Amino acid sequence: MYYWGGANFFAPLAAAIHLGFLPLNVKNQAEFRLISNNCTHFIARCWQQNVGSLIYCGRGKKNEDVYILAVGKKPALILKTLTAMVTLLGEDLLNYRFVNCEEHIHKREGKKGIRFRSGLSKYNSIGEMVATVHKGL
């Protein structure tokens, strides 16, 4: 499950890349523009009004289910509720991977640095994160 605050496109893009709808990286601005123009339908339904809603995106190549979750400004509360629910349903938390998209991007560039990066650079950072998740499956 990829999660994020809900105010940007990080988790929806990560899910689309994970599922193979989009490439892991793009080489130039023209390619990035083409992708961003064609994937708005996937991202459009995933904004702040969905905070707290777990959205199923599809099944990956290794038969893993991929979800996104907008956590808003209080991610700890939503994640605690979600992990408690998983446990109550008798599931093993070790079967789940919770990926904080914003934390990954911020660690890489710093909170202020992310604002000044190009869309191409942000996209490729998300692709790197997804590649890391794929390796861990």
pLDDT at res. 8: 75
Look-up: residue for tokens 């990956």? 60
**54 in helix, strand or coil?**
strand
Instruction: Look at residue 46 and tell me whether its pLDDT is greater than 80.
Output: no
- pLDDT in the model for residue 87: 92
Share the mean pLDDT of the chain: 83
What length does the chain have? 137
Written as one letter, the residue type at 79 is: L
Q: What is the C-alpha separation between 132 and 28, in angstroms, rounded?
A: 22
Residue with tokens 């994160």: 129
What proportion of the chain, given as a percentage, has pLDDT over 70? Answer: 84
Q: What is the pLDDT at residue 111?
A: 59
**In degrees to the nearest 10, what's the CA dihedral of 25, 112, 73, 136?**
30
pLDDT of residue 41: 62
What are the pLDDT digits (tens) for 73-117?
Answer: 888 888 898 899 999 999 999 888 999 988 877 777 665 555 545
Higher pLDDT, 108 or 11: 11
pTM of the model: 0.82
CB 3 within 8 A of CB 101: yes
The phi and psi torsions of 27 (rounded to 5 degrees) equal -95, -25
- CA dist 115 and 117 (Å) reads 6
* Between 46 and 25, residue with greater pLDDT: 25
Strand bridging mode 65-70 / 2-4: parallel
What pLDDT score was predicted for residue 15?
92
What residue ranges in 8-113 does DSSP mark as E strands? 54-59, 65-70, 99-100
